[in-house]
Amino acid sequence: MLRALVVTASLLLSSLAAAVEYINIKPLDQVVPASIGTVKGGVLQVPFISWGGDIAVIHANGNSLSTQANSIAAQQGLQLRLTREDDFAKQVQHYLKGDSPFLRGTIGMLNMAMDVISKDAKTKPIVIYKLTDSAGGDALVVKPGIKTVKDLKGKTVVLQAYGPHVDYLSRILADAGLTFKDINVRWVKDLTGTDNSPMAAFYEKDIDAVFVIIPDALALTSGGTVGTGAEDSVKGAKILLSTKTADTVIADVYAVRSDFFKQNRELVEKFARSLLLGQESMTNVVQQRSVDSKAYEQMMRAAAKGLLDSEQALADAEGMYQDARHVGYDGNVKFFANNTYPRRFTVIVKESQNGLQQVGLLRQQQEVAQAKWDYDKLKKGLSQVNVAEAPKFDESKVAALVTQKQQQGNLDQGELFSFEVFFQPNQKTFSAELYEDAFKKVMDLASTYGGAIITVEGHSDPMNYLRKRKANASQMVLGRIKQAARNLSLSRAQEVRDNIIDFAKSKGVSLDSSQFAVIGHGISAPKTGVCGADPCVPKTEKQWRSNMRVQFRILQVEAESSVFRPL
């Protein structure tokens, strides 16, 4: 992803290192002048940014920055002038002055501006459309010694100030039981391509992790493997996770000024409809590129020119398209109108504001309004409506991968997060009534990390085996006990997995069953440890009960591309 977001040169910089200048970050209301004007009439100025989701915006305008005759926008009665504005602070200034009634950014960027754009009722934002989720364009790169997100505790992390990664960091810290207070954050001016970017900072010895766009992540890690130290890579560096895994963390949206919305609701609705039609048309052009290569090339060259200033940057534009999940009609309905969807608008707004408050970029939490469109009205003329979601994973390959990891004893490799639930002796069922909090957590994690595998791992009580061993039972008897324990733990894991999926369904949430892998460890990995070839004998009732558990792991498997079904 090329989110070439720049922060204004007026920001106070302090040189904390020879090569990289770090920013003393301030809330945006201390950076952006709050000069409020009225929106000018005539041709509407619409901002866009250098991101694959904005290809649809340019395409809807007739593959042009100015509205072309017979384009989707023109057919909606719109006259637009698209302007790329990757400096979000400048975008906010134009919004307040009335140069444009629209803001274009992520939910997190919008929340960063809330203190300044909500001072006057006229400029309070109303979110009108979701363009995309980042689905591979953003990544967390770490140095050796950081194996899970929990390992970030006490480490120094660099990211772009006022950029798209603040929410990303906030969410994964929360899932690991951490906050911004547990890490040392350093802010840089630029996202990519300069000496004041996260990638540049990563070469410094005291920097442990950085949030970068995927081209920088691949460079730092020798193509997404492990950095060799050659060329632009850092020895031992790896991608801990990208938005290919955390694929609903960064949502890109359009918002509009309240005063403009109240006076021009029909016009704003036409703009939203043009985006819906534009995304659908764009998707069709991509799918039919082998049949109509001319239409595809025309669209992508216009995108390359608009996003990257060069029609020749065709390959980069294609990569940007693939880094985003273009959500269309179904995604907007789910995001704004489905009150059971775990990653809905209100949830992400609150999640974002929690993190921004922690880091001092938002003074107080406040409601962010949405347009509340009549989606039945908006869907007229669309063909990509209520499209069934295909499984993301090849279940047989997931099972083979997990089995291999289990046999090699490295299930913890690629682990992002894990937690456990415990059961009673001889417990047969795992109902939602008993485990509702855990089921909700799994449901949320599955929805947030849609590109990760979730293992459900059953463990059994080894006491029966240990008693029989003490009584000098034969190896055949002991072997049968071990196998029975494996079978029991597997059936428990399967029941837990099935009950979670059923629980989610009862809440109106459809989980992808291909995302889950079940494992029966039996007594091979007791909480109390292994002594020689057998489980250690529990010394207390607490230790005994600790072995009766089901463990959940969220595994990053981005390097295992074969487990994903081709799109």
Question: Which domains does the chain show, CATH number per domain?
Answer: 33-128+256-378 (3.40.190.10), 138-242 (3.40.190.10), 395-563 (3.30.1330.60)
Residue 559's pLDDT is 67
Q: Which residue has the tokens 């029989």?
A: 468
- Helix or strand run (H / E) with residue 280: helix 265-287
First-to-final CA distance of the chain: 18
Across-strand partners of 156?
184
Task: Note the helical H segments in 52-87.
Answer: 55-60, 72-75
- The answer to whether the Cα torsion of 395, 401, 405, 407 is positive or negative is positive
pTM: 0.89
Instruction: Give CA–CA dist 45/80, Å, rounded.
Output: 6
SS3 content of the chain, % helix, strand, coil (to 5): 40, 20, 40
> CA 345, CA 368: separation in Å to the nearest integer?
9
Per-residue confidence (pLDDT) for residue 567, from 0 to 100: 39
Closest CA to 307 of 318, 293, 297, 295: 318
In eight-state DSSP terms, residue 98 is T
Return the pLDDT at 560.
66
- CB of 164 closer than 8 Å to CB of 171: no
* Angle, CA of 77, 80 and 82, to the nearest 5°: 155
- The answer to whether 365 and 356 have CB atoms below 8 angstroms apart is no
Distance (Å, rounded) from C-alpha 221 to C-alpha 227?
4
Tally Cβ neighbours within 10 Å of residue 69: 7
Written as six digits, the tokens of 484 are: 């029975």
- Structure tokens belonging to residue 99: 């140069």
DSSP 104-117: EEEHHHHHHTHHHH
Q: How far apart are CA 501 and CA 511, in angstroms?
A: 6
Which pLDDT does position 563 carry in this prediction? 61
- Torsional class of 75: left (φ above 0), alpha (ψ -120 to 50), beta (otherwise): alpha
14 burial (CB, 10 Å; 0-12 / 13-18 / 19+) is exposed
Amino acid, single-letter form, for residue 139: A
- C-alpha pair distances (Å), 14 with each of 186, 209, 223: 11, 20, 33
Chain-centre distance for alpha carbon 497:
23
Spatial distance between the Cα atoms of 331 and 341, rounded to a whole number of angstroms: 11
Q: Buried b / exposed e across 337-353, counting CB within 10 Å, b at 16+?
A: eeeebbbbbebbbebbb
Residue from 458, 538, 525, 526 nearest 495 by CA: 458
Q: Which residues of 21-37 are buried (b: 16+ CB within 10 A; e: fewer)?
A: bbbebebbbebbeeebe
Contacts of 44 (CB under 8 A, 6+ apart): 78, 79, 80, 81, 100, 101, 102, 267, 271
Per-residue pLDDT of the chain (567 residues; tens, 9 = 90+): 445 443 333 333 333 344 899 999 999 999 998 789 999 889 999 999 999 999 999 999 999 999 999 999 999 999 999 999 988 999 999 999 999 999 999 999 999 999 999 999 999 999 999 999 999 999 999 999 999 999 999 999 999 999 899 999 999 999 999 999 999 999 999 988 899 999 999 999 999 999 999 989 999 999 999 999 999 999 999 999 999 999 999 999 999 999 999 999 999 999 999 999 999 999 999 999 999 999 999 999 999 999 999 999 999 999 999 999 999 999 999 999 999 999 999 999 999 999 999 999 999 999 999 999 999 999 999 998 988 888 888 888 888 888 888 888 888 888 999 999 999 888 878 889 889 999 999 999 999 999 999 999 999 999 999 999 999 999 999 999 999 999 999 999 999 999 999 999 999 999 999 999 999 999 999 999 999 999 999 999 999 999 999 999 999 988 665 564 543
pLDDT at 391: 86
